[in-house]
Amino acid sequence: MLVLDGKIAAAAVKATLLEQTQALKAAGKRMPHLAAILVGNNGASETYVASKVKNCEETGFGSSLYRMDADVEEAVLLAKIAELNQDPNCDGILVQLPLPKHIKESKVIEAIDPAKDVDGFHPVNVGRLVQGLNTFIPATPYGIILMLEHFNIETKGKNAVVIGRSNIVGRPMSILLSSNIAQGNCTVTICHSHTKNLKDICLGADIIVAALGVPNFLTGDMIKPGAVIIDVGITRVEDATAKKGFRIKGDVHYEEACAKASAITPVPGGVGLMTIAGLLKNTMKAYQGL
């Protein structure tokens, strides 16, 4: 059984990006720059944004982090986005989700210039993705595609099941896997909280992407021998024995899945690291121009 190690695949992506930024530096060019906006102080969001900034530094990208209080007015956030849209030194803008309830997420996403939308959530970019046009692929599905590519996982003609239909993971993942691309050409079933006979559907799958946010949901009895298992889930589960008081759990019962799968992503150390790789690649793409 092959462990799809995110550290290895992400390091390969980052090494290529570092070569590119070093070449830009040698040519006296401006560096690609990512601007991140963090509203409030949600623990997980803090961790994700800190990691994104750190990874920018490691690959020679510039980055700025703008922090706003949890009760910031929506208009203030929108004004910041408008300013960054106009800033010629800023290539990519990301607003860390989720946002506080008084801020309308769709309004914020649509305020970002589609040419700087490195999260790929703007409806214009989602439309381009659906039509198979050049676009910013949302970072997590993009990271999964990069992972499949790195480990030479064959997808053509396979049955893929995606569990979860969110705009940031499940839905774009299902579109990509069904697209006519190297890591696509699957026959895709997308499942959600109203899906019946999920176990039977999963048992017919050659590839399963679990992105629902329910720890240990996908158990061994739901997996066909030899299937490829991609675990997107990241849930903080309280654990008094852990140093931080919690442990990160995926959506897949890892030990049971290992006994069945031909390849599997661990949590942590799998898709999460690839998400950042996807984001960095999008930022380079924004710098170069879509």
Residues at the contact surface with ligand NAD, assessed by CB under 6 A? 140, 163-166, 168-170, 191-193, 195, 198, 211-214, 232-235, 271-272, 275
For residue 277, the minimal CB distance to ligand NAD (Å) is: 10
Strands 207-210 and 246-249: unpaired
Nearer of residues 90 and 162 to ligand NAD, judged by Cβ:
162
For residue 212, the minimal CB distance to ligand NAD (Å) is: 3
For residue 1, the minimal CB distance to ligand NAD (Å) is: 21
Nearer of residues 196 and 243 to ligand NAD, judged by Cβ:
196
d(CA 226, CA 220) in angstroms, rounded, equals 12
Neighbours of 166 (CB within 10 A): 16
Residue 81 near residue 117 (C-beta atoms within 8 A): no
Nearer of residues 35 and 173 to ligand NAD, judged by Cβ:
173
CA-to-CA separations, 252 to 143, 210, 289, in angstroms, rounded: 18, 7, 38
Nearer of residues 80 and 122 to ligand NAD, judged by Cβ:
122
For residue 273, the minimal CB distance to ligand NAD (Å) is: 8
Nearer of residues 35 and 222 to ligand NAD, judged by Cβ:
222
Which of 96, 206, 249, 281 is labelled catalytic? 96
Nearer of residues 24 and 214 to ligand NAD, judged by Cβ:
214
Look at residues 130, 131, 118, 206 and name the one whose alpha carbon lies nearest to residue 162. 206
Active site residue 119: yes
For residue 268, the minimal CB distance to ligand NAD (Å) is: 9
For residue 207, the minimal CB distance to ligand NAD (Å) is: 17
Which of 14, 80, 117, 119 is labelled catalytic? 119
Which of 52, 80, 116, 285 is labelled catalytic? 52
The phi and psi torsions of 281 (rounded to 5 degrees) equal -65, -40
Active site residue 52: yes
- Residues taking part in catalysis: 52, 96, 119
